Amino acid sequence: MIHTVVWRRLDAPGHEWSQLRMAPSGPELSGTAVFVHKHEPCRLSYTVHCDEEWATRWAHVSGSVGEVMVDVRVERLHDGSWSINDEIVPAVAGALDVDLAFSPSTNTLPIRRLGLAIGESSEVRAAWLTFPEFVLEPLVQRYTRIGPLAWRYESRDGAFVRELTVDDRGLVVEYPGIWEREDATSP
């Protein structure tokens, strides 16, 4: 199965193309975001490989932010620790999901992994790849399923809250104020 989407940025000029593919070893997200950040053109391509339970195995981000080249590899190791470009980051040990700060695609990972019923809620600790710094930090998040295709997302102790609309595959359709899907196709 392959599912491809295109998102439009709502808070700045930009778009993202993303593809969810069910590989034999587990789900894979890949995409390219092209947008403007502080008057600088950005192009970031990514791939996220997950295990069969939707937990991140590794992610790779490459491209540029203005004239600064980006090449970042994040990995969740077998002991639960995480590394960025082969440097261990103890603060994110135990996290199961990578969260790419510049993309709506990685919200799919905990949504699919948790499999919550309507009304259920769960707290997760993500390995958050910040933007534009590309530093790996812990980010506590809460996902609450509020409808068949609606989720309440909270982070930073409730300081950041959005009600996400997703499709039946868990990919964001609407991320209020930030992203909105323009196209969805399933070959």
Selection from 40, 42, 24 nearest residue 32 by Cα: 42
The predicted-structure confidence for 138-177, as pLDDT tens digits, reads as follows 999 999 999 999 999 999 888 999 999 999 999 999 999 9
Higher pLDDT among residues 184 and 5, named by residue: 5
| Domain count along the chain | 1
Residue 112, pLDDT above cutoff 90 = yes
Q: What is the pLDDT of residue 187?
A: 41
Write the single-letter amino acid at 42: C
Residue 184 is predicted with a pLDDT of: 52
- Confidence at residue 186, expressed as pLDDT on a 0 to 100 scale: 44
Share of the chain above pLDDT 90, in %: 95
Domain containing 36: what range? 2-185
Distance CA 153, CA 147 (A): 13
Residue 157 confidence (pLDDT): 86
Task: Report pLDDT digits (tens) over 26-46.
Answer: 999 999 999 999 999 999 999
Give the confidence band of 75 by pLDDT, cuts at 50, 70, 90.
Answer: very high
The 3-state secondary structure of the chain, one letter per residue: CEEEEEEEECCCCEEEEEEEEEECCEEEEEEEEEEEECCEEEEEEEEEEECCCCCEEEEEEEEEECCEEEEEEEEECCCCCEEECCEECHHHCCCCEEEECCCCHHHHHHHHHHCCCCCCEEEEEEEEECCCCCCEEEEEEEEEEEECCEEEEEECCCCEEEEEEECCCCCEEEECCCEEEEEEECC
